[in-house]
């Protein structure tokens, strides 16, 4: 099943270079949504991998922390999301770690989330 995020983004772009697809009468245009591109990894029992898109979608769409600080987040691919400038990556990582662990994403083991800002610039549109 295609998620909302994956239906809006160009899947050919590298994970830190997601752009929103805007259809017009003349052509498709890809625009960045938020100012920052973040790389999101999970570590479970020492194994590191990009956070699955469906986990990121679940957290960002159904965030039960009650904190508006995470409203400006948009998952774009496995291990990748865009975020506004108000989002503190360290607080986001801690909240995701707790949320994923409570929902059993680590199969009984704690889920540690590490978030790093992508340093690459977006290619020209």
Residue range 79-106, pLDDT digits in tens: 999 998 889 999 999 999 999 999 999 9
Residue range 21-59, pLDDT digits in tens: 445 555 555 555 678 999 999 999 999 999 999 999 988
Query: Domain coordinates of the chain in residue numbers?
Result: 34-117
The CA radius of gyration of the chain, in Å to the nearest whole number, is: 15
Q: Identify the H or E element spanning 8.
A: helix 4-8
Confidence class for position 9, pLDDT limits 50, 70, 90:
very low
Which three-class secondary structure state does DSSP give residue 23? strand
Q: How many residues are given for the chain?
A: 125
Confidence class for position 60, pLDDT limits 50, 70, 90:
confident
pTM for the model stands at 0.69
Phi, psi angles (nearest 5°) of residue 25: -65, -30
Q: Which residues contact 72 (CB under 8 A, 6 or more apart)?
A: 34, 83, 84, 85, 86, 87
């Amino acid at each position: 099943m295609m998620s909302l995020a994956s239906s809006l983004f160009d899947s050919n772009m590298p994970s830190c270079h997601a752009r929103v697809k805007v259809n017009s009468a003349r052509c498709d245009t890809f625009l960045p949504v938020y100012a920052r591109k973040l790389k999101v990894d999970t570590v479970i029992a020492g194994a590191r991998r990009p956070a699955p898109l469906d986990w990121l979608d679940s957290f960002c769409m159904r965030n039960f922390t009650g904190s508006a600080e995470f409203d400006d987040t948009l998952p774009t691919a496995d291990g990748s999301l865009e975020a506004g400038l108000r989002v503190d990556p360290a607080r986001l990582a801690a909240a995701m770690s707790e949320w994923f662990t409570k929902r059993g994403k680590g199969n009984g083991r704690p889920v540690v989330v590490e978030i790093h800002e992508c340093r690459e610039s977006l290619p020209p549109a």
